[in-house]
Amino acid sequence: MRKIFIIISLLIAITLFAEFPDGNELIRKVDDNMYSKNAVSTSRMIVHGRRGSRTMEIKSWAEGENRSFSEYLSPPRDAGTKMLKLEDKLWIYNPSSDRTIQISGHMLRQSMMGSDLSYEDMMEENELIKIYNAEVTEEEIINERDCWIVLLTAKVEDAAYQTKKVWIDKERYLPLREERFGKSGKLLKTTEIKEVFRIGKRWYPKNMVFKDVLKKGKGTEFIIDSIEFDVEIPESRFSKAALRK
């Protein structure tokens, strides 16, 4: 009788395990949903600090994951600040000092415009499959959506985070929640998608909240007001000369 019970238990365990999708195929579908040839967007970044909140309006141009250009439109103190990413290099133009500086080394870990995001976060490649191996570990319902819980483990040495725990919407292939861990296993940052919208055949985040758990405050909210995919972007947009225009 005991042997029969053990066999049945093993069969149930194997069946349940078999129902989990392949982790790498799952994040490939996430990449297909999130990734585009290029995009132009307008967004708001709201930094919720200890003493209040401030809102920045941004227009961004992106081509794949290697080239992007952002311009801050408001508030007045930040207007005219521009950022250019080319491959693994990042430059920032500050209009008040009329200087362009390259952000590199330890500076990449600094807060971007006082937010919960670092410059290193901005530089991270968009396609998960290039950086991580994935394993589906369990499932859970969050915000009334069925999700797979996926453990991502870095397969490249220069990954910003050694591991990530991600809750992926089973139907929309969106990472609705994310926890990012350092090499020590310590939780460093969290991300949560509060609202999504549909553009053509893809689902995309509308409202996200990023939180650096090592900082005080209520996190940084990122709201996409408009976005267009696969549009023509002039080559001149991704140049150092564009920073000073």
Q: Which pLDDT tens digit goes with each residue over 163-194?
A: 999 999 999 999 999 999 998 999 999 999 99
Residue 15 lies in a domain: no
pLDDT at 49: 83
Q: Which residues lie closer than 8 Å to 140 by C-beta, 6 or more apart?
A: 147, 149, 167
Is 12 a member of any domain?
Answer: no
39 within a domain of the structure (yes/no): yes
User: Is residue 11 included in any domain, yes or no?
Assistant: no
Pairing mode, strands 38-49 and 219-229: antiparallel
Range of 74's domain? 20-244
* Nearest residue to 23 (alpha-carbon basis) of 130, 147, 125, 150: 150
pLDDT, residue 177, reads 97
pLDDT at 124: 82
Give the span between the Cα atoms of 41 and 168, in whole angstroms: 24
Q: Is residue 8 part of a domain?
A: no
pTM (predicted TM-score): 0.86
Closest Cα to residue 163, out of 173, 149, 153?
153
Residues in the chain, overall count: 245
Positions of the chain with pLDDT under 50:
11, 14-17
Q: Where are the beta strands (DSSP E) in the chain?
A: 38-49, 52-63, 67-74, 82-86, 89-94, 99-103, 132-142, 145-154, 163-169, 175-181, 187-199, 202-212, 219-229
| End-to-end Cα spacing for the chain | 80
pLDDT at residue number 223 = 97
**Is residue 126 helix, strand or coil?**
coil
Domain total in the chain: 1
* Residue 145 forms part of a structural domain: yes
Residue 95 lies in a domain: yes
Those residues with Cβ within 8 angstroms of residue 115's Cβ, 6 or more apart along the chain or in another chain: 45, 47, 210, 220
Whether residue 103 is contained in a domain is answered as yes
Q: What is the CATH number of the domain that holds 103?
A: 2.50.20.10
SS3 86: strand
Distance CA 197, CA 238 (A): 28
Predicted confidence at residue 64, as pLDDT, reads: 85
